[in-house]
Structure formats: C-alpha cells, structure tokens
Amino acid sequence: MRRETDALVRCLFWMVFIRYAREDAFLRRLMNCAALCVVAIVLVLVLIVCINSTAAQEGYFGHSHDDWHHGFYSTLNRPDGKGSCCNLMDCRPTSVRSTDGRYEIKKDGRWIPVPMEKVIKKAAPDGGAHICAPDSSDTAYPADEVFCVIMPPDT
C-alpha cells in the first residue's frame, strides 16, 4: 500500500509542478532548459554509438578484436602456412568493395587491394569482412601488409 501512496504523491506533485510551471515564466524556462538538456544528451549518445560502429567498419587496428577472438579469430590459420592469422590484436571487422573487377578492403581507414592469396575460405559468424594485419604504422611491416582476409559470403 505504501508504494501506491508514494506513486500517487509523486504523480500529484508533478501535476501541480507542471501546472505552476506553465504559469510561471521562470519555471517554464527551467523546464524548457531541462528538455533541451535531455535532447542534447540523447544526441550525444547516438553520436557515440554511430562513431563506434563506423570505426569497426574502417578496419582500425585492435578495434572489436576482443569480441571475436576466442570464438573466431583464434581458429584462423594463415594460407601461407606461417601460423595463426591472429597475434592477439591483428584481426578486426572491416569493409570490402569491388572496383574495376578487383576487391579492396579497408585497413586502418585506407582502401588497399585484397591479396587473393591471403583470402581464407571461411565465413565469419557475422557474415561480414574481416582483416588480420599489423597496424599500418608498425615499421616492422610494409603499410599494406595483410596476414589473412575473410570475405563476406556474397563476394
């Protein structure tokens, strides 16, 4: 019974507050400001989600690696026989496109040609493209070095 009473009291309070807020210019401005703040917070959260999903499709080193490592990346072996595709951070989701009859894949935000000898004939659980490659800024490898590429099934 106490919960119902508390809810009723809160409801009555807000009804009275809103009634007076409509009559009082200061309270009306205060409510408008609060509404604007809520809208701004929602927009910021949406922007954060959009930026994170975009980064995943740009093939940036280390992005979303942990989400896929144990169930998928750790099972991949390099087509050249030099061991595993994944060195704990090398693999990540990315985007792929076809241009002039050849495929390109995003690596660290840049489109590079897909080396067909590096393509693994295995579908990713999400059906998307994935790349296993060192960071483009790693001076131990050429900038376009790729260990493995997982193409979407429809390519």
pTM, 2 dp:
0.59
Q: What confidence score (pLDDT) does residue 111 get?
A: 93
**22 and 28 Cβ atoms separated by less than 8 Å:** yes
Q: E strand or H helix at 49, and its extent?
A: helix 25-57
pLDDT at 59: 54
145: Cα separation from own chain's centroid:
23
Provide the residue ranges of all domains of the chain, joining segments of one domain with +.
2-57, 65-150
- Where are the strands (E) in 55-113, listed by range? 91-94, 96-99, 102-107, 110-113
Task: Please determine, for residue 66, whether its predicted confidence score (pLDDT) is greater than 50.
Answer: yes
Residues 6+ positions from 40 with CB-CB distance below 8 Å:
none
Alpha-carbon span 36 to 56, nearest angstrom = 31
Over residues 76-135, the pLDDT tens digits come to: 899 988 888 887 778 888 889 988 889 999 998 899 999 899 999 888 888 889 999 988
Write the CB contacts of 117 (distance below 8 Å, at least 6 apart in sequence): 79, 80
Residue 55, pLDDT score: 47
What's the gap between Cα 140 and its chain centre? 28
